[in-house]
Amino acid sequence: MNTDLGLLGLLQLVSPALPIGAFAWSQGLESAFELGWVHDEASLGAWLAGVLDDGLARLELPVLARQHAAWQAQDGALLYQWNAWLLANRETRELVEEDVQLGTALVRLLKGLDMLPAHGLMAQPAYVTMFAYTAQARGVAARQAMLGFGWAWLENQLAVACKALPLGQSAAQRLIEQLRPRLVAAIDDAERWEDNDLGPALPGLALASAWHETQYSRLFRS
């Protein structure tokens, strides 16, 4: 992070108040509640730790770093390549829709702020792609952008749990304390993976997300 304005820009980007609709998506967590896989503080902590280690550390976070560098280098071909690769790794319709709709919402917001990139904007930008662009445009270093992205994901998942489970705010804060070191470790891992090491290993999340599409009663869109 080079400037105070960069830090403030990152805080704005990861704020729950950012008007892109992230609160409407649970990434399969609501289905895990319905199935009984996640039912209390301990099982939620285990679920989130697994998604961090085998999901974010091998997909969103390393791709964010690569997209950050591609935006900085103005490498349109590399941006398209990683955007397409990211969407190809979304294993259900809902997960693809979440990524594309959040990315599109961030594009709309950036347009209103007169911050759209002059080049490299693809037809279906993933959320990670646009997050990387916004962070890079505001002078936020790649590692700090990864920390911000991971933090926003963790806060959103805990907000989902507080709405759908009998989980209080104190329990959510305990989980944050438990998982903060895990998030830093996930970013350390993401920084050392080579391209051929990438790819999520989350069969349970994929199944939960697929079953969510036909779940009778739902609060969230994924």
| CATH of residue 198 | 1.10.4190.10
Q: Which of 125, 87, 94 is nearest to 108 (CA)?
A: 125
> What's residue 92's pLDDT?
94
Residue 128 lies inside a defined structural domain of this protein: yes
Task: Identify whether the C-beta of residue 78 lies closer than 8 Å to the C-beta of residue 70.
Answer: yes
Residue 207 lies inside a defined structural domain of this protein: yes
> What's residue 120's pLDDT?
67
Residue 178 lies inside a defined structural domain of this protein: yes
> What's residue 2's pLDDT?
64
Residue 188 lies inside a defined structural domain of this protein: yes
Residue 220 lies inside a defined structural domain of this protein: no
> What's residue 139's pLDDT?
92
> What's residue 134's pLDDT?
96
> What's residue 216's pLDDT?
73
The domain of 41 spans 4-15+28-211
User: Among positive and negative, which fits the CA dihedral 171, 175, 178, 180?
Assistant: negative
Task: Identify whether the C-beta of residue 28 lies closer than 8 Å to the C-beta of residue 137.
Answer: no
Q: For residues 113, 116, 122 and 124, what is the CA-based torsion angle, rounded to 10 degrees?
A: -10
Can you list the residues of the chain whose pLDDT is less than 50? none
Residue 217 lies inside a defined structural domain of this protein: no
How high is the mean pLDDT of the chain?
93
Residue 47 lies inside a defined structural domain of this protein: yes
CB atoms within 10 A of CB 2: 11
Residue 189 lies inside a defined structural domain of this protein: yes
> What's the rounded Cα separation, in Å, for the pair 112 and 109?
5
> What's residue 187's pLDDT?
97
Give how many domains the chain has, as a whole number. Answer: 1
- Helix (H) and strand (E) counts in the chain: 10, 0
> What's residue 214's pLDDT?
82
> What's residue 25's pLDDT?
84
